[in-house]
Structure 1
């Protein structure tokens, strides 16, 4: 993310998304209300991401960021535990985050962990080690909070002329779906969350179960069918009357697809965030990926070796969602939980004038 990224939106959020923020910090990274530098950390099943920002006249200004694939959830579906190698990778990445937070003198923090720490039997021991070695005390959020933060972070990209969107966040260990829409007769209001669900399938868990390196058309169809089975109940209840709505996706899967669709030599957030893709473009891009070997995916600069064995699992999740919610357009969001946390903290402090 660029050092001068501004994110904008309209008026306040739905009441159900404005729950109090519970910040759990170590003494070294104590919370001081009213400070002007904010930090949001998202330790996911696959990635460790940090965003540091200051409020500005038109939203907030990003002053530092960090992202590293650490595969914290690698092997959890088989062993039920975070592996020692994954712990070492996480501690190394979080140490970098700690240094950035201290260098930027950020005092207002939210430091979260998601599915891997919800699922692993040794998650508490892992968090204790992280706190001892890095000074970062992780707050494990539930799936409902994860979905709500994704809505806050991505809602600026809901089509202003439409009624709402089916928002989805494809993670490493889980996938969240939220139906958000504006109230009838109030076209200029911010869309509200009407229903949400979370399924215990993400790119890491799906790839580990079905295989991610060598994906055939048949194994891909099996992945889609497995995800569709989990999505079906939500779609049956909340997938009717989709007029004037669109899909809104936040994840490495959709941003990677957008980069490949644009034939980018290297991934460029400025080109990807907010882009629209229609159904034919998504299908063509996924077909291109299915035709690639593992090595070809690994050598693509929009995928890289870090995602080469995960991207098709993500595409299978997307295809299952597209089938359940047959909407003609997808908007791609290179934003999500971190932006949601920053907005929520700044609004609590009265520091955010526009978003």
Structure 2
């Protein structure tokens, strides 16, 4: 018998004897809906919960009040307005109370946008599971980025950060409380939304890196999960364009998908001898998949691209430090 299956059966039968509790009722469909990272990795939901999810505080089934709400919804007449706004498959009005609760906990804006690709990715049918991951994960990412910046020895009192490819504010709503923040995104609606609800200066990005118009420089330019989507045709060009926005002595921090991600998702494309593999596949249907898909890169490829930029110095490389899936590179502008 497969050792993974044996592991699951033993825990279902006996529970965790060291913790003196038995295995709670497990809802595989709910677990995958509420944890899109597990679903996208193709992991067995029960095994993931037993080995990691339980320690991480992930729920094995919907909370009692969500189950009750779902039961009531099934019994209620179908009188919902078909014009109702929705994020993913859940009506915005259905999420407002939950969003306000999370926003009060984290002291951030509760406002959500119906075109938020990240929220739609997290949120399937359960407002509680996906929404909680959206808010809590945004805070965790903001804290991780700030910890990285602090370790660089930057003057935190005068820190100016550009968050590039910011989307609809999952990270921004937390990060703007921690630094002097400017954001940029390619979606005009996202730029307008973040400006209004997060109060940050904003710039609209561009399809081609050479067309980017941001007339400022920053101590840190942070690019979380953009280079994991770029083809070879624009990878180095975007690296140069964003490096140009770094003030002398400042840093460009960005993430990529490398071989460390294969432990979670064995299906990621394998780079060839040039060090990059690109698939023209994307959940963001409003973007051309030839420009924005899924890419896997080897460190030597990234190092080569950095080496082509005059004055760029690779300060650090850490594999899998973002969500145990993406690698982080920190590049300093030496002149």
TM-score range, shorter chain: 0.3 to 0.5
Higher Cα Rg: structure 1 or 2?
2
Q: Which has the higher contact order (CA 8 A, sep 6+)?
A: 1
Tell me the TM-score normalised to structure 2 length.
0.34
Tell me the TM-score normalised to structure 1 length.
0.32
